[in-house]
C-alpha cells in the first residue's frame, strides 16, 4: 500500500538519517518532514534528499494544533514516526518547561491530530513513537534495561519522555490507536549536534579547547551508530507488533572517560599530533545534577523477533564519525557560531 508518512523532527540528528533512509529505500512512499527548526534542527542535514520527488518539508511546531491539522489534510497522512523533541539532558535541567511543552504537550497534540484525522479507520494507521532508554532510570547494580523494566526517569528530559510514552500507550488503550514505541540507547554519528559528548569532544580536540568531563568520567553509556538506529526504526515500523515496545541498543558500554581518551588517540593520529597531545585537554568539571550512573540496553527482543542487529563495530563507527566531522568543518563552524557559543559559555563557565 502506498503510504504518506509524517516524520517529525526530521531536521535533527537522528531524524535526518531516518528521512534519508526512508526517502531512498521507499520511492513509493511520500515522506513529509515536519520540523520547527529549533536550534537543533538544520536543513543542511537533508541535502542528500532535498530534491527527491517523494520528499516534502513542512516547517511547523508540534504544539500548533491548526498547523498539524492542515498538514495531515494536505498530505493525507497515513502513518506517523515521531522523533521531534527537546533532546539534551543539560538543557532540561536549566529549562524543564521547554521539555514539557514539546515532549509532553507537543506529543499529545500530535496524537490528537492523528486520532482526529484517522477517526474513521484508526486501526489502518500506525503512530510510532521514538523514545529513549533514559525512561528506565539509572542502573547501579549491574543488569540491563528490558522492555518490562519499570519506568524510573531521573532528569526533567527523561521525565518528559516517560510522560510522552505513557500518553502514547494511553491512546492505544483508550481509543484503540495502533501504536508502537522503541527505546534506544545513546546514538553517535554524522549530524550530531556538538552539545552532546562525542561531537563536543571532536570539535574541542580539533580546536585545542578543554574537554569537559563531568564528575569523575565514570558514568557508563551504551553507544549505537545513528544509521543503525535508523535501520532499527525502519524494522520496527514495518515489522513491529502493534502495542509492543522494542529496546534498541548496541551491547556497547563505555565509561565516558574511556570514550574521551579514545577520541583523543584517534584524533591525534588523524591530525598528525604526537600521541598523548589531546589527552592533556581533558578537564574534570562539576558533575551534571542528578547524573544517571549507567544505561545498558538488552536488545535481545528486537534481534530475536525482528532480526535487527547493529551493522557496525564501535571503532568503525567512531572512525566514520570523526572523518565526517573533519570533512564537514563548514557545517560545524556554522552550528557553533552565535547561539551555540552563548550556550557553551553559560553552561561551562558556571
Ligand atoms: P535533536 O535534538 O538532534 O533533534 C530534534 C529535532 O526536533 C530538531 O530538528 C528540532 O528542530 C525538532 N523539534 C524540536 N522541538 C520541536 C517542536 N516543538 N516541533 C517540531 N519540531 C521540533 O534530537 P535527536 O538526538 O535527533 O533525537 C530525536 C528523537 O530520538 C528524540 O525524540 C529523542 O528523545 C530520541 N532519542 C535520542 C537519542 C540520542 O542519543 N540522540 C537516543 C534515543 C532516543
Ligand atoms: O540514552 C539516550 C540518550 O542519550 C538520549 O535520549 C538523549 O537525547 C541524548 O542526548 C543522550 O543523553 P546523554 O545525557 O547520555 O548524552 P550526552 O552526550 O549529553 O552525555 C553523555 C555522557 O557524557 C553523560 O554521562 C554526560 C557526559 N558528559 C556530557 C557532556 C555534554 C560529559 O562528561 N561532558 C559533557 O560536556
List phi, psi (to 5°) of 79. -150, 160
Would you call 166 helix, strand, or coil by DSSP?
helix
**Residue 195: all three cell numbers together:** 552539545
| Nearest ligand atom owner, CA of 155 | 2
CA distance 209 to 226: 26
Cβ contact 171:116 at 8 Å: no
Choosing from 221, 222, 340, 346 the residue with most ligand 2 atoms within 8 A of its CB, the one to mutate for a pocket test is: 221
Ligand 2 centroid, distance to 274 Cα (angstroms): 29
**Residue 95: all three cell numbers together:** 529549562
Instruction: Give per-residue pLDDT as tens, 137-195.
Output: 999 889 999 999 999 999 999 999 999 999 999 999 999 999 999 999 999 999 999 99
Arithmetic mean of pLDDT, 273-295: 98
Q: Are residues 210 and 229 in the same domain?
A: no
CA distance 8 to 59: 10
CA distance 102 to 58: 17
Q: Are residues 118 and 259 in the same domain?
A: no
Choosing from 196, 290, 343, 347 the residue with most ligand 2 atoms within 8 A of its CB, the one to mutate for a pocket test is: 196
Chain-wide mean pLDDT for the chain?
97
Ligand 1 centroid, distance to 252 Cα (angstroms): 22
Indicate if the pLDDT at residue 126 is higher than 70.
Answer: yes
Q: Are residues 51 and 74 in the same domain?
A: yes
The verdict on residue 305 lying in a domain is no
Q: Are residues 43 and 58 in the same domain?
A: yes
Instruction: Give per-residue pLDDT as tens, 72-100.
Output: 999 999 999 999 999 999 999 999 999 99
Atom of ligand 1 nearest to the CA of 62: 19
Contacts 24+ apart (CB under 8 A), 84-87: 84/8, 84/9, 84/12, 84/15, 84/34, 84/35, 84/36, 85/9, 85/161, 85/164, 86/38, 86/40, 86/157, 86/160, 87/12, 87/13, 87/40, 87/157
Arithmetic mean of pLDDT, 255-259: 98
Q: Are residues 58 and 95 in the same domain?
A: yes
| Nearest ligand atom owner, CA of 190 | 1
Query: How many residues are present in the chain?
Result: 350
Ligand 1 centroid, distance to 133 Cα (angstroms): 14
**120 is a catalytic site residue:** no
Catalytic entry in 35, 79, 86, 133:
133
pLDDT, residue 292, reads 97
CA distance 217 to 138: 15
Ligand 2 centroid, distance to 309 Cα (angstroms): 23
Would you call 81 helix, strand, or coil by DSSP?
strand
Q: Is 320 exposed, middle or buried (0-12, 13-18, 19+ CB in 10 A)?
A: middle
Q: Are residues 99 and 215 in the same domain?
A: no
**342 is a catalytic site residue:** no
Indicate if the pLDDT at residue 237 is higher than 70.
Answer: yes
The verdict on residue 87 lying in a domain is yes
Indicate if the pLDDT at residue 349 is higher than 90.
Answer: no
List the residue whose alpha carbon is closest to atom 34 of ligand 2: 213
**Residue 57: all three cell numbers together:** 518539508
Instruction: Give per-residue pLDDT as tens, 296-320.
Output: 999 999 999 999 999 999 999 999 9
pLDDT, residue 186, reads 98
Indicate if the pLDDT at residue 45 is higher than 80.
Answer: yes
pLDDT, residue 1, reads 65
Ligand 2 centroid, distance to 187 Cα (angstroms): 10
Instruction: Give per-residue pLDDT as tens, 263-282.
Output: 999 999 999 999 999 999 99
The verdict on residue 349 lying in a domain is no
Indicate if the pLDDT at residue 327 is higher than 90.
Answer: yes
CA distance 53 to 62: 24
Cβ contact 5:22 at 8 Å: yes
**134 is a catalytic site residue:** yes
- Cβ neighbours around 187 below 10 Å, total: 23
CA distance 210 to 278: 9
CA distance 60 to 68: 8
Atom of ligand 1 nearest to the CA of 82: 32
The verdict on residue 212 lying in a domain is yes
- Whether 277 is in the pocket of ligand 1, judged by its Cβ within 6 Å, is no
Q: Are residues 175 and 58 in the same domain?
A: yes
The verdict on residue 298 lying in a domain is no
The verdict on residue 32 lying in a domain is yes
The verdict on residue 300 lying in a domain is no
The verdict on residue 302 lying in a domain is no
List the residue whose alpha carbon is closest to atom 41 of ligand 1: 187
Q: Are residues 179 and 279 in the same domain?
A: no
The number of domains in the chain is 2
Cβ contact 128:80 at 8 Å: yes
CA distance 234 to 306: 11
Q: Are residues 139 and 213 in the same domain?
A: no
Choosing from 9, 86, 88, 89 the residue with most ligand 2 atoms within 8 A of its CB, the one to mutate for a pocket test is: 89
Question: Three-state SS across 86-150?
Answer: CCCHHHHHHCHHHHHHHHHHHHHHHHHHHHHHCCCCHHHCEEEEEEEHHHHCCCCCCCCECCCCC
pLDDT, residue 350, reads 65
Provide the CATH number for the domain around residue 238: 3.40.50.720
Domain that holds residue 334: 197-220+254-290+313-340
Cβ contact 226:13 at 8 Å: yes
Closest C-alpha among 322, 222, 307, 220 to residue 265: 322
Q: Are residues 61 and 166 in the same domain?
A: yes
- Whether 162 is in the pocket of ligand 1, judged by its Cβ within 6 Å, is no
Provide the CATH number for the domain around residue 276: 3.90.25.10
Q: Are residues 78 and 143 in the same domain?
A: yes
pLDDT, residue 2, reads 87
Q: Are residues 31 and 97 in the same domain?
A: yes
- Whether 198 is in the pocket of ligand 1, judged by its Cβ within 6 Å, is no
CA dihedral 56, 60, 66, 70 (to 10 degrees): 0
Closest C-alpha among 208, 218, 213 to residue 293: 218
Amino acid at each position: 500500500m502506498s503510504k504518506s508518512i509524517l516524520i517529525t523532527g526530521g531536521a535533527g540528528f537522528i531524524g535526518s538519517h531516518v528521512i534519508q533512509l526512508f526517502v531512498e529505500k521507499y520511492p513509493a512512499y511520500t515522506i513529509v518532514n515536519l520540523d520547527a527548526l529549533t536550534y537543533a534542527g538544520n536543513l543542511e542535514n537533508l541535502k542528500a534528499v532535498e530534491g527527491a520527488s517523494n520528499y516534502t518539508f513542512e516547517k511547523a511546531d508540534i504544539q500548533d494544533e491548526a498547523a498539524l491539522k492542515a498538514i495531515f489534510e494536505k498530505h493525507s497522512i497515513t502513518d506517523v514516526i515521531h522523533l521531534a523533541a527537546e533532546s539534551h539532558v543539560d538543557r532540561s535541567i536549566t529549562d524543564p518547561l521547554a521539555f514539557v511543552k514539546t515532549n509532553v504537550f507537543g506529543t499529545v497534540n500530535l496524537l490528537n491530530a492523528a486520532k482526529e484525522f484517522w477517526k474513521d479507520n484508526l486501526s489502518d494507521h500506525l503512530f510510532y513513537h521514538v523514545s529513549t532508554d533514559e525512561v528506565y532510570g539509572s542502573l547501579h547494580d549491574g543488569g540491563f534495561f528490558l522492555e518490562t523494566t519499570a519506568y524510573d526517569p531521573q532528569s526533567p528530559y527523561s521525565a518528559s519522555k516517560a510522560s510522552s510514552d505513557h500518553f502514547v500507550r494511553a491512546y492505544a488503550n483508550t481509543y484503540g490507536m495502533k501504536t508502537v514505541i522503541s527505546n534506544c540507547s545513546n546514538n553517535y554519528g554524522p549530524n550530531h549536534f556538538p552539545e552532546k559528548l562525542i561531537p563536543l569532544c571532536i570539535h574541542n580536540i580539533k580546536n585545542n579547547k578543554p574537554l569537559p568531563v563531568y564528575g569523575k568520567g565514570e558514568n557508563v553509556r551504551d553507544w549505537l551508530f545513528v544509521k543503525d538506529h535508523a535501520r532499527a526504526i525502519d524494522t520496527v515500523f514495518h515489522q513491529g507488533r502493534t502495542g509492543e515496545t522494542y529496546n534498541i541498543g548496541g551491547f556497547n558500554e563505555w565509561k565516558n572517560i574511556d570514550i574521551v581518551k579514545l577520541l583523543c588517540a584517534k584524533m591525534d593520529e588523524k591530525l598528525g599530533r604526537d600521541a598523548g597531545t589531546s589527552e592533556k585537554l581533558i578537564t574534570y568539571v562539576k558533575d551534571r545534577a542528578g547524573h544517571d550512573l549507567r544505561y545498558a540496553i538488552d536488545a535481545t527482543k528486537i534481534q530475536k523477533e525482528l532480526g535487527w542487529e547493529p551493522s557496525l563495530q564501535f571503532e568503525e563507527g567512531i572512525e566514520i564519525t570523526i572523518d565526517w566531522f573533519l570533512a564537514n568543518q563548514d557545517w560545524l563552524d556554522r552550528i557553533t557560531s552565535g547561539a551555540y557559543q552563548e550556550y557553551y559559555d553559560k553552561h561551562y563557565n558556571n
